[in-house]
Chain A
Amino acid sequence: MNREDLSLAAFTLLVQLALGAVFAAAMLPIRLAGLADPGPLVHRLLFAAAPALLAGLGLSLFHLGRPGGAARAVFNLRSSWLSREVLFTALFAGLTCTAALLHLLGFHDDNVLWLATITGLAAVFTMARLYQATIRPAWSTLYTPVSFLVTAVLLGVAAAAPLVRFALVDDGLVRMLLTDMLLTGAGALAALMVALPLYAGALSRESAASRESLSLLTGRYALVMAIRIALAAAGMGLLVSGQANLSLWALGTGAAALLAGETLGRLLFFATGVPSAVGQL
């Protein structure tokens, strides 16, 4: 891994976190309809997502040799997934910032939230396609979009869970929302656990480069992978505990564990992306 990969790892994580948070914000008016005012929680989620997106976009410039020409990255929408990713991420950031500003000014427009969510999904989809279109077999499988969506869900849960405790006063509603989040997070984690062995099987069959990726995952980085999964599981466990006793400490620590787990997962993604190259037998 090099410095450029680190900037891209941070960028992808922050965009996916923002997608999870904006999706949660879009769902709240539906889930809390007739029960409570979703405004304070939507407000906090949007003001978590917007800086994350702006920071992500800013960090992504560090992988460019000429950051000043970044605007030219949308010139090849016809065939480049990178161009499409840049466009959709910029739109996602613009819509999220607009939604946050509207909220600040007292205009609660759910349509903007859903538009931002759809644009965010497009950003993460094009992001996954971008990596799939490289000559790194470990990135070319379906595991890439699946793992990106799983990260969006888990980081969305990580962002929303502690904020729920801050924003709502009714303990029953807090527990209800935390239960929703836990079920969603558990579903995402289960999807990851199903996808991982399928991914390993695909890597073992593909090519010399993919077998090298598998060898890294099961050898040099096996412990890191185990820690990543353990952190995700521990994070969910702490959130379950936080849901039961409404402990902010448990919710915060659980969110931090999920964030650490997904960060390790993303670093592994970059570290195990072995390219197809001349000389591989």
Chain B
Amino acid sequence: MQQHAQLGFHVDMRACIGCRTCVVACKDRHDLPVGQNFRRVVEVEGGGYTETGTGAVIPHVFAYYFSISCNHCDHPRCVANCPTGALRKEPSDGVVCIDQAVCIGCRYCSWSCPYGAPQYSPNTGTTRKCDLCADLRAEGQEPVCVTACPMRAIHWGPVDELKRRFGGTMDVAGLPNPSITSPNGRYTPHRDAGRRPKP
């Protein structure tokens, strides 16, 4: 079998304004019920303030957003832990997907993913997740979150190419430790997003 490049997403956190258009577009495309989102936007807030002593207060606050879906990890715990073998990593493009006919809805994959990618659907009794819009890709189109983003903050493609074009990292404060699953996403950090604090 011919090996192709590992696919993934890149998100430019400097451009993301947290509008959640990507979430809505994904939800619409995959007809997801309330509570189920293959792509999510997580807001991170922090900071404090300084009192000058003259009655003034100077704020030092920040907020930034992670638009996140499945990172199609190199070592996906969801695949290793799935008891039925319904979850698999496609050898052709490294995309992690679920065979809906085999999944029994045990939700162990949800317990195994630090990015919250596998989402249980009460409607089907199974877990579903982002497959990088396999149906659109098969038609030569882009994943719907990429085309919907009004800020052009989301990109997709072979991860090596994304690294060359945008750089980026998964070692950003607010993201789980990348050593857990070796994720294939890339983030260009917001100016206020430091590196993940060392434990």
Contacts and interface: CB of A to CB of B under 8 A. Distances in A.
A279 interface: yes
B134 interface: no
Contacts of B180: 135, 276
A134 B108 CA distance: 8
A69 to B, nearest CB: 4
B83 A135 contact: no
A76 interface: yes
A140 to B, nearest CB: 10
A82 B77 CA distance: 12
A113 to B, nearest CB: 29
Contacts of A34: none
Interface string B82-126: 111100000000000000001111111001111110001110111
Interface string A69-83: 110111110011111
A106 interface: no
Interface string B163-198: 000000000011111001000000000000000010
Interface of A: 4, 63-67, 69-70, 72-76, 79-83, 86, 130, 133-136, 205-207, 275-281
Contacts of A79: 80-81
A277 B178 CA distance: 12
Contacts of B77: 133, 135
B83 A75 contact: yes
Given A80-B80, A82-B81, A276-B114, 8 more contacts: A65-B106, A72-B84, A73-B104, A75-B102, A82-B83, A136-B111, A277-B116, A278-B114
Interface of B: 40, 42-44, 46, 66, 68, 77, 80-85, 102-108, 111-116, 120-122, 124-127, 173-177, 180, 197, 199
Contacts of B66: 278-279
Given A133-B112, A207-B177, A281-B44, A65 B83 contact: no
B194 to A, nearest CB: 9
A278 B115 contact: yes
Q: Which 6 A-B pairs have the closest CB atoms?
A: A65-B105, A65-B125, A69-B104, A82-B83, A279-B42, A134-B111
Given A63-B106, A65-B105, A281-B44, A80 B114 contact: no
A66 B122 CA distance: 10
A277 B126 contact: no
A280 B103 CA distance: 30
Tell me which of B83, B105, B122, B174 has the highest count of chain A C-beta atoms within 10 A of its own C-beta. Answer: B83
Contact of A76 (B82, B125, B174): B82
Nearest to B125: A65
20 contacts: A4-B107, A64-B104, A65-B106, A66-B105, A69-B84, A72-B104, A73-B104, A75-B85, A76-B85, A79-B80, A80-B82, A80-B83, A80-B108, A135-B114, A276-B176, A277-B116, A277-B176, A278-B114, A279-B44, A279-B174
Nearest to B43: A279
A135 to B, nearest CB: 4
A281 B162 CA distance: 26
Contact of A65 (B40, B82, B124): B124
A67 B82 CA distance: 15
A246 B155 CA distance: 74
B99 to A, nearest CB: 11
Contacts of A72: 83-85, 102, 104
A106 B85 CA distance: 43
A87 to B, nearest CB: 10
B197 to A, nearest CB: 7
Contacts of A63: 106-107
A182 to B, nearest CB: 37
A135 B84 contact: no
Nearest to A72: B84
A115 B77 CA distance: 32
A79 B87 CA distance: 12
